[in-house]
A and B are shown apart, each in its own frame.
Chain A
Amino acid sequence: MLKLPVSKMDELFSLINSERTLYMPLEKNSEICFDKWSSDASIRLDKLNTVKSPKDFFFPASENIAAFKTKGKEIIMDDIRSEIEPFALFGVRACDAESFNLLDLIFLNDKDFVDTFYESRRQNGIIITTACNEPEETCFCNVFNIDAANPGGDISTWIIDDTLYWNSLTKKGSGLTEKIKKMFEQADESEIADHQAKISGVINKLPFKDLSLDGFTGEALIEKFSSNQWEEICHTCLSCGTCTFICPTCHCYDIQDFDTGKEIHRIKCWDSCMYYDFTLMAHGNPRTSLLERFRQRYMHKLVYFPENNDGAYACVGCGRCVQKCPISMNIVKVAKALKYEGMK
């Protein structure tokens, strides 16, 4: 473990930025989002969750995947892929860092169909996490065995009073650390132990910390699916899709062609299972009702995803949907409402 006085963080950021483009939570137009660091940026490492998760660094909201020109009956395909520049994200929270491991299960695990766009961004990005000093009442990462006091990623950091502690976890992380090591002093893990215990103490008082997902398994699929609770919990949902766009683990996308006038771009862009036309077909729609679409999102996160991925839920407890849903519906309420369904 290494350490550095907080007063030298600007110098550290500048050094990292000379190695690879550095992004971190910045305040812009009164919103806090991951953005390109600069020496005069308004850094907000005090705020826990950025509005959107940083998933768009790996899975952009919209990405050009191919370009075509047409000439009569002929199609000319242009290779528009560019090399991804090396970059680093600083200040990623434990929950968001874990979300990338979940997205890896979708985009990288099937060796026949690796999403190479995602893959090259993952290879070129270094994730530097920061422990959450003060988890909020909407946080429930502990439910998914994520430890906000001990975040993952390539490098984890702790900001304790006026010291930044730095610990590399992966080869990629050590590679970067090696290049900037001269700025740091050696530290011992025992120096952060009290702080970690303090964070655990906060987590232990959080309102959703005891949320139980027992019984949310593939075996209970039909019971959970057929529950009569759905009607009750879905009926005020606006199908606005906010929950899907801010969620770090939602991965649905659309593919659309866009004619720029000069050529046709094929674009892969985020989509939402909450929208009516998501599954619309020429001969009908398997999910015509709000209930069916609402149920799809939560069944996917709590039952289908774990069934396909060795029990891993498609949620990291970041609490964004808890904070942002205009009708105050969220995965916690859904899990509680369905708890006894399928339990034998």
Chain B
Amino acid sequence: MNNKEALIPKLGIITDIRDETPDVKTFSVTALNGGVVFPHMPGQCAMLSIPGVGEAMFSICSSPTNKEFMEYSIKKAGVLTDWLHLAEIGQQITVRGPYGNAFPVEDDLKGKDILFIAGGIGLAPLRSVINYVRDHRENYGEVDIVYGARSADDLVFRKEIENEWDSKNGVKVHLTIDREQEGWDGNVGFVPGFVKSLKFTPDRTTLVCGPPIMIKFVLKTLEEMGFDSTKIYTTMELRMKCGIGKCGRCNIGSKYVCKDGPVFRCDDLAKLPDEY
């Protein structure tokens, strides 16, 4: 019997759980005998499940350069994610993937000045790219990260951002939150306006991730600033079941987000019907 069936998962084990925000936790996952469950490229996703509870798609937010474990940052949103938030270290889960395309870290992004723009948990898929770029720093030009959330408490990976990313290796991080908050001396305001005020030159290759509404406004702002849509990438999120372009669920026009995405170049996205 052919056991290469894509729908049949592998087993993994949760080896670490970190609180990021009140409703986001980052889970480290390894294969039962250690190491990553499978290799991946930045931007790809995996289906995680607890049998009997549910199965759902998550971005692999660790970099492929991390060969010891995979990471997933998961927001509480329903049955499975609520369950995972109550799970403890040592909990086994099922994992299948990797699914989808990836950010073009080895071609279009190479040698370029890169601008990352993220909102909320949208930093999760970009974290994989950011750490990949940091681990191969010599292959890329200037790197800026603009990241915003509702409040300071909703910023994910905050320790890593402050201790690892910012100002090291010529990576600059620009944080913003929606409303004034005690103890916050950084920028206050929405991401699109903040991007505009930072006056990036439009020759940057840009990666945008976040809630659909934020993506729409950021893209509009970038267009106004003269950015070229062939150099802007974003990721899409639609309901998924199979992850392999067969269950018919995640299409935008004739593209399946699970297979042809989740990463789309914005000029390609613009050719698709506005149904996402």
Contact = CB atoms under 8 A, between A and B. Distances in A.
Interface stretch (B59-67, B85-93, B109-117, B224-232): B85-93
Nearest to A283: B211
A119 B2 contact: yes
B251 A106 contact: no
A200 B251 CA distance: 39
Nearest to A250: B248
A115 interface: yes
A271 B249 CA distance: 9
Given A259-B52, A304-B254, A254 B7 contact: no
Given A110-B244, A253-B242, A266-B51, A221 B254 contact: yes
Given A259-B52, A281-B239, A287-B275, A253 B247 contact: yes
Given A254-B247, A282-B77, A221 B238 contact: no
Contact of A221 (B90, B246, B247, B273): B273
A120 B3 CA distance: 12
Interface residues of B, number: 49
Nearest to B99: A113
A65 B254 CA distance: 27
Contacts of A280: 239
Contacts of B51: 68, 70, 75, 257, 264, 266
Contacts of A292: 275
A66 B9 contact: yes
Contacts of A68: 51-52, 94
B55 interface: yes
A251 interface: yes
Contacts of B55: 255, 257, 266
A172 interface: no
B248 A251 contact: yes
A65 B92 contact: no
A15 interface: no
A169 interface: no
B193 interface: no
Given A65-B7, A222-B273, A268-B7, A281 B246 contact: no
A236 interface: no
A144 interface: no
B239 to A, nearest CB: 5
A75 B248 CA distance: 29
Report, nearest first, the 9 A-B pairs whose CB atoms are least far apart: A282-B77, A252-B248, A68-B51, A304-B254, A113-B244, A116-B2, A307-B254, A264-B52, A75-B92
12 contacts: A73-B90, A115-B6, A116-B1, A266-B51, A281-B239, A284-B212, A286-B238, A287-B275, A300-B251, A304-B253, A304-B254, A307-B254
